[in-house]
Each structure stands twice: as C-alpha cells, then as structure tokens.
C-alpha cells in the first residue's frame, strides 16, 4: 500500500505536479463571447499563471504576490528583487533577491511587456482588507478543478521542498525565502537527500 500523502504543514507539490497545475491554466469564456470578453479571460488566465509561478517557482508569500511591482523584475539578469517601499513592507523588513526559474522568466517576458506599477490589478488600491488584491477564490477554484490539495503557503512550501530535495543548500533556500536558516532546516530538512560520508 502506498504511503499516505503528507499532511498539515508538510504538504507540498512535487515539481512535475507544479508544472501540470500551471500548464492547466486556460482562458474561460462562452463559445460566442465578444472579443473584449475573450481578452479579459486571457488576461485573467495570465494573471493566474503569474500567481502560480510566483508562489511555486519563486516562493513569494501571498501578500508579496499581491503587492508585486513590475520594477521588482530584472528580466535581463533573470532576477526578482523583493523590497519594501512606501506602499509595502516585507515581513522581515529586509529585501531579498531570487533568481528566476526559466519557465517563469520566459512567461514574464511577454506578460510584463508594457506594464508599469503593480503587476496584478494595477488600478486597485489598498482598502480595509489584508491584501490590496486578493484572487483567493480564483486560485482555490483552479486547485479544486484539478483535484489538487494546495494552499497559498503550500505553493511557497513546494518551492522550498523541491529545491532542498534536489540538493540545494538550505542556507541558499533560506535567503531566497527571506526566512532564517533554522526555520528552513526545521521545515524542509526532512526532504534533503542524505549527505556526507562518515568513512571519508
């Protein structure tokens, strides 16, 4: 009998499943939709792809995804710079730089073309809610449609778990996440491959 899937705070999707979840995003519109309806549906699908890439392939927190600005992305160097400004403060009050995975980088080259300001819902301003823009229903609907058990934090957890399980340094992953090394080791050390040689 196969092992039960991980539960609670250890839940994450392996990279092949992450790729499937992102690839499954499709524009949704009626058969005889007007051109402007089709265009809005395509934009909505691209926004969802951005959210999934940002969580699964860059490890961004939910609030960071909502507050992401075009200027955070250096597409020439393939880097994402998460930093505080007048409108947003990172959780630990410090900035960090994350290298962009190739699929995310290639997507961004088209997606960010001509954009300025906020990446998602650029005209929306912060209200009384926790998030400036919150596509929670859209994200969870996508997971449900694919029968995938995943939360916003599971996307971030998947980013870290997949890197650590392939042998990436926990120290480096901690830097990319903006977390302490001890936190990352405690949370993701169980997926790290066995290392070291006692008879060296």
Q: How confident is the model at residue 4 (pLDDT cuts 50, 70, 90)?
A: very low
Question: What would the pLDDT profile of 115-152 be if each residue is shown by its tens digit?
Answer: 999 999 998 887 777 888 899 999 999 999 999 999 99
pTM beyond cutoff 0.75: yes
Pairing of strands 96-99, 73-74: unpaired
Q: Is the pLDDT of residue 158 over 90?
A: yes
Question: What would the pLDDT profile of 78-112 be if each residue is shown by its tens digit?
Answer: 999 999 888 888 888 889 999 999 999 999 999 99
CA dihedral 63, 106, 108, 68 (to 10 degrees): 20
Question: Would you identify the CATH topology of the domain 11-190?
Answer: hpI Integrase; Chain A (1.10.443)
Q: What is the C-alpha to C-alpha distance for residues 2 and 189, in angstroms, rounded to an integer?
A: 22
Q: What is the predicted pLDDT for the residue at 199?
A: 65
Q: What is the predicted pLDDT for the residue at 60?
A: 97
Q: Is the pLDDT of residue 3 over 80?
A: no
Angle between helices 35-56 and 136-145 (to 10 degrees): 80
Q: What is the predicted pLDDT for the residue at 27?
A: 93
Q: How confident is the model at residue 31 (pLDDT cuts 50, 70, 90)?
A: confident
Q: How confident is the model at residue 8 (pLDDT cuts 50, 70, 90)?
A: very low
Q: What is the 3-state secondary structure of the chain?
A: CCCCCCCHHHCCCCHHHHHHHHHCCCCCCCCCCCHHHHHHHHHHHHHHHHHHHHHHCCCCCHHHHHHCEHHHEECCCCEEEECCCCCCCCCCCCCEEEECCHHHHHHHHHHCCCCCCECCCCCCCCCCCCCCCCCHHHHHHHHHHCCCCCCHHHHHHHHHHHHHHCCCCHHHHHHHHCCCHHHHHHHHHHHCCCCCCCCC
Q: What is the predicted pLDDT for the residue at 2?
A: 44
Q: Is the pLDDT of residue 26 over 90?
A: yes
Residue range 157-172: mean pLDDT, rounded: 93
Q: What is the predicted pLDDT for the residue at 190?
A: 81
Read off φ and ψ for residue 163, nearest 5 degrees. Answer: -70, -50
Q: What is the predicted pLDDT for the residue at 66?
A: 95
């Amino acid at each position: 009998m196969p092992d039960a899937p991980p539960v609670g705070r250890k839940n994450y999707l392996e990279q092949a499943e992450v790729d499937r979840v992102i690839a499954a995003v499709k524009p949704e519109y009626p058969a005889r939709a007007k051109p402007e309806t089709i265009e809005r549906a395509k934009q909505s699908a691209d926004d969802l792809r951005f959210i999934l890439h940002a969580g699964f392939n860059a490890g961004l927190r939910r609030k960071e995804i909502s507050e992401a600005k075009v200027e955070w992305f250096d597409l020439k160097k393939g880097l994402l710079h998460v930093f505080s400004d007048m409108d947003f403060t990172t959780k630990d009050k410090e900035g960090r730089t994350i290298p962009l995975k190739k699929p995310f980088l290639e997507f961004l080259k088209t997606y960010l073309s001509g954009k300025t300001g906020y990446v998602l819902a650029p005209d929306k301003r912060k209200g009384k809610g926790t998030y400036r823009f919150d596509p929670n229903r859209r994200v969870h609907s996508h997971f449900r449609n694919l029968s995938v058990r995943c939360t916003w934090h599971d996307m971030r957890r998947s980013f870290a778990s997949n890197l650590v399980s392939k042998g990436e340094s926990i120290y480096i992953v901690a830097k990319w996440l903006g977390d302490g090394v001890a936190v990352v080791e405690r949370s993701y050390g169980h997926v790290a491959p066995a290392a070291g040689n006692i008879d060296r």
